[in-house]
Amino acid sequence: MVADYSSEAGRATGPAHPLTVLGLETSCDETAAAVVRLSTDGGATVLSSVVYSQIDEHAAFGGVVPEIAARSHVEMIDGVVRRAMDEAGLDFAALDGVAATAGPGLVGGVMVGLSYGKAVALARGLPLVAVNHLEGHAVSARLGQKVAYPFLLLLVSGGHCQLLEVRGIGDMSRLGSTIDDAAGEAFDKIAKALGQGYPGGPALERLAEGGDDTRFALPRALLGRKDCDFSFSGLKTAASRLAQACETEQDRADLAAGVQKAIARQLSERAHRAMQDWREVRGTVAARPLLVVAGGVAANRTVRAVLEATAAKNGFDFLAPPMAYCTDNAAMIALAGAERLQLGLVSDIDVAARPRWPLDEDKALSDPMHKPGRKGAKA
Ligand code: KG4
Ligand code: ZN
């Protein structure tokens, strides 16, 4: 159920003076650094955003190899940060703070970016902000466009699939999440079964272009349940079996189109439920409500189109981040860091890297639904 928050607390208003923050992201297979300025009106400007993708280093293994990722982050981070500072045209003295992803993610990689952030903070006497990677995705739609809190967020990436109510930075609650695979993981695994490379999402989207999305009947998960949870393992198993029987390129394209439609439909059905809950609790008191989709899967055009139509049906506005900020990047980490800095939420220099870190930690700890072992490994 969506909580009733009728106050204006958490709305996006800006800091007393502009805050310029260096952000670092190393939680998976992208080494990224960015400089973002949060202005007094609450708007965010990306001064630079550099992303080094390790995809080629992992491609032969069909997925991300943690040890390779961590070593590659060590090799690349210095150059990536230098480029981000050069492209922003700034010296370290112009920064107000440094923000680094501290989890959740592959902990070897997270430690690289976080340690680098600590070194910059110590050397330059800057405040350090440890950022939850998911909070970065949650604010990513605010990069390049004005988005006020609160909003409903569908966070769909390779590791996560959740619906959240976002009232402000550090103030989010989860309405539902996947009980097995994340949506991006389903895209990746089914794409692999269809003979596509890694990452599978973009490849499957391309393959689906010439496909008939009505040809294959695919299972619909958790039908009849009234909550906002997701499940993709049944679809993955069914689609992988069908993939083995595909003979022609047209067969594969039809299956890819069907899978893409099935994933988009499940995302939109759960988002529809969350929007109905939101309406029940808030009624028409709030300004026109907003649905935001973020994370790598938000780059998918079918997913965006289906969600946009569902939002319109529910009287919600719809927004997705610019394409460059859907997949992992450091601009979203810098912005989350700047918003935390504005609120005085800085971190101790000995803050630890965390492989797991739910956004709504209190609920995750207290609600048996979210006890370890009950949800998917990365949910
Ligand atoms: O947000 P992200 O870069 O990393 C995580 O935090 O997980 O998301 C990566 C995921 C991958 O599973 C990838 O296949 C998926 O996002 N993805 C897509 C598309 N672009 C990336 N899935 C479907 N269609 C796309 N165009
Ligand atoms: Zn991510």
28 in contact with ligand 1, CB cutoff 6 A:
yes
Do 127 and 206 lie in a common domain?
A: no
171 shares its domain with 315: yes
What distance in Å separates the CA atoms of residue 172 and residue 335, rounded to the nearest whole number?
16
Residue 156 and residue 205 in one domain: yes
Atom of ligand 1 nearest to the CA of 105: 6
* Ligand 1 contact, 42 CB (< 6 A): no
Number of domains in the chain: 2
Structure tokens at 121: 């903070």
Does residue 7 sit within a domain? no
From the list 313, 353, 276, the residue with the least C-alpha distance to 25 is 353
pLDDT band (50, 70, 90) for residue 367: low
Looking at the CA of 191, name the nearest ligand. 1
Per residue in 342-354, pLDDT (tens digit) is 999 999 999 999 9
User: Last residue of some domain: 289, 305, 320?
Assistant: 320
Inside any domain, residue 249:
yes
Same domain, 268 and 185: yes
From 64, 185, 297, 328, the mutation candidate for ligand 1 (largest count of ligand atoms within 8 A of CB) is: 297
The answer, yes or no, to whether the previous bond of 289 is cis (omega within 30 of 0) is: no
Q: Is the CB of 297 under 6 A from ligand 1?
A: yes
pLDDT band, residue 374 (cuts 50/70/90): very low
The label of the residue with tokens 């299972």 reads 219
203 within some domain: yes
Task: Give the structural domain span for 25.
Answer: 19-144+327-366
Instruction: State whether the beta carbon of 296 lies less than 6 angstroms from ligand 1.
Output: yes
200 CA distance to ligand 1 centroid (A)? 8
Model pLDDT, residue 10: 41
Residue 9 falls within a domain, yes or no? Answer: no
Q: Which ligand is nearest to the CA of 302?
A: 1
Average pLDDT score over residue span 330-349: 98
The response to whether residue 136 sits with its C-beta less than 6 Å from ligand 1 reads: no
Say yes or no: 139 and 155 in one domain: no
For residues 309 and 165, state if they share a domain.
yes
| Tens-place pLDDT, residues 179-227 | 999 999 999 999 999 999 888 999 999 999 999 999 999 998 888 788 9
Q: Is residue 12 part of a domain?
A: no
Q: Name the residue among 19, 6, 3 with its Cα closest to residue 344.
A: 19
CATH label of the domain that carries residue 62: 3.30.420.40
